[in-house]
């Protein structure tokens, strides 16, 4: 089965040096369109929420970057800039991180189902976040830090488990990921059961993915990591393209396979760790968005990875807007919405191809 997939990707990958300029232009165009869409989404979703704000005045305040209060009352201004906008930006950072990580896993493992969740990295980060909440509840820095540690440890565990006598084959990696995921899931259930009742509830929401209860201190960290991570992964896109031909072929073509793999695992687990620390495990983003990008723009990672970064941000912003408005003033966890949108979309995409 894997062999046929590898053959398929061999057909799909078009890596011809002479067409470099075309690819570059195509990437730029896709990024320009998607970033414009992302900006528009940020502005438009800032205008909707459980509280109705005057649209004109809100636009005016947004376009002045919060320097002018326009016709908004202080409360409305606070709602827009202290609550709504930070949450939308966090949604963008989380979506971008998860989709970029998913896209690079899929390329590296030559497996269309590879995702932060499948490899147990999300669960590792979730366990790290839980440990932080249990032992250093009040300290906000401990959460992303321990989520990174958890994600890195999970990645390391998967990597070690996958390295058999014949080297780390993609199949072994995915299997190892499944084992690590289930093991960490039971750790999560165990910790949840041991915790006192007031926290159990917030934990279940935490694990479904929820953007509401996040300290603003985490926002700059999440954005910086999302942007930096996407750039590093996009810079490795050429190697990832060659890796899609198979590890031996890539090695023969001059790719330092081991180094690329470690870079991807480190950066992707940083991306996943920071997003899980901020919002819990938001599902389906790492699966749906890269596939959508690949189906519409082709499977060249130099385009797919930046497109997934923007597309993931867009996807989670829209999903979270639905989550916070559909039963307002109550709220849903965003993870429920991404799964609701993501699963049928994914089935449709599978049927179409």
Partner 1 sequence: MTLCSLLNTRAKVFRPPGFRSSCPADAPNFLCRRMGGQRDSLLSLHLTLKRNRPLGLFGTLVLILGFHLGCAHNKSQTETSKQIREITDDAGRRVVVPLRIDRVISLAPNLTEIVYAVGAGNRLVGDTSYCDFPEAAKTVERVGDTLHPSLERIIALRPQLVLVSTASQLEVFTHQLEHQDIAVFVTDPHDLEGVFRSINQLGAILGQDDQAKQLIEQLRTRAAAVEAAVMHTQPIRVFYQLSAEPLYTAGHDAFVTDLIRRAGAISVTADVPGAWPKYSAESALAARPEAIVLPTGGSMGDGNSTVAESLQRSPAVVQGKVYKINDDHLVRPGPRAVDGLEEMARALHPDVFKR
Q: Which residues here bind partner 1, judged by CB under 8 A?
A: 49-51, 75-76, 78-79, 82-84, 137, 193, 196-202, 205, 210, 212-216, 324, 328-333
Using the minimum distance from each CB to partner 1, give the nearer residue, 11 or 196.
196
Using the minimum distance from each CB to partner 1, give the nearer residue, 210 or 247.
210
Across 32-70, b (16+ Cβ under 10 Å) vs e yields eebeeebeebbeebbbbbeeebeeebbbebbeeeeeebb
Using the minimum distance from each CB to partner 1, give the nearer residue, 10 or 52.
52
Using the minimum distance from each CB to partner 1, give the nearer residue, 46 or 236.
46
Rounded-to-integer distance, Cα 13 and Cα 27, Å: 15
Q: For 83-112, give the secondary structure using H, E and C.
A: HHHHHHHHHHHHHHHHHHHHHHHHHHHCCC
Q: Are 97 and 314 in contact (CB under 8 A)?
A: no
Using the minimum distance from each CB to partner 1, give the nearer residue, 42 or 162.
42
Using the minimum distance from each CB to partner 1, give the nearer residue, 17 or 329.
329
Rounded-to-integer distance, Cα 261 and Cα 15, Å: 20
Q: What are 163's strand-pairing partners?
A: 168
Give CA angle at 24 (308, 41), nearest 5°: 35
Residue 157: count of CB within 10 angstroms of its CB = 20
Minimal distance in Å, beta carbon 343 to partner 1? 23
- DSSP for 183-236 reads HHHHHHHHHHHHS-HHHHHHHHHHHH--STT--TTHHHHHHHHHHHHHHHHHHT
């Amino acid at each position: 089965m894997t062999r046929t997939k590898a053959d398929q990707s061999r057909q799909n990958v078009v890596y011809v040096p002479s067409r470099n300029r075309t690819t570059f232009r195509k990437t730029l165009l896709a990024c320009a369109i998607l970033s414009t869409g992302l900006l528009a989404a940020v502005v438009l979703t800032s205008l909707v929420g459980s509280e109705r704000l005057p649209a004109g005045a809100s636009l005016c305040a947004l376009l002045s970057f919060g320097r002018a209060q326009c016709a908004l009352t202080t409360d409305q201004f606070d709602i827009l800039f202290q609550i709504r906008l930070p949450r939308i930006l966090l949604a963008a950072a989380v979506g971008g991180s998860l989709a970029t990580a998913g896209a690079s896993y899929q390329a590296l493992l030559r497996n269309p189902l590879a995702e932060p969740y499948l490899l147990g990295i999300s669960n590792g980060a979730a366990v790290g976040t839980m440990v932080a909440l249990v032992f250093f509840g009040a300290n906000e820095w401990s959460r992303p830090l321990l989520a990174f540690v958890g994600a890195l440890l999970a990645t390391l565990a998967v990597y070690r488990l996958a390295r058999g006598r014949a080297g780390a084959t993609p199949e072994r990696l995915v299997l190892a990921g499944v084992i690590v995921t289930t093991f960490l899931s039971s750790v999560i259930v165990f910790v949840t059961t041991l915790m006192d009742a007031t926290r159990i509830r917030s934990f279940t929401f935490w694990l479904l993915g929820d953007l509401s209860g996040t300290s603003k201190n985490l926002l700059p960290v999440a954005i910086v990591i999302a942007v930096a991570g996407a750039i590093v992964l996009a810079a490795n896109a050429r190697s990832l393209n060659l890796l899609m031909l198979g590890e031996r072929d890539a090695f023969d073509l001059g790719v330092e396979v081991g180094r690329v793999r470690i870079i991807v695992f480190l950066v992707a687990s940083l991306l996943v760790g920071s997003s899980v620390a901020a919002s819990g495990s938001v599902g389906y983003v790492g699966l749906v968005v890269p596939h959508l990008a690949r189906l519409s723009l082709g499977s060249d990672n130099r385009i797919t990875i930046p497109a997934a970064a923007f597309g993931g941000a867009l996807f989670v912003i829209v999903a979270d807007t639905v989550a916070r408005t559909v039963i307002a003033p109550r709220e849903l966890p965003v993870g429920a919405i991404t799964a609701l949108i993501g699963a049928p979309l994914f089935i449709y995409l599978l049927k179409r191809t």
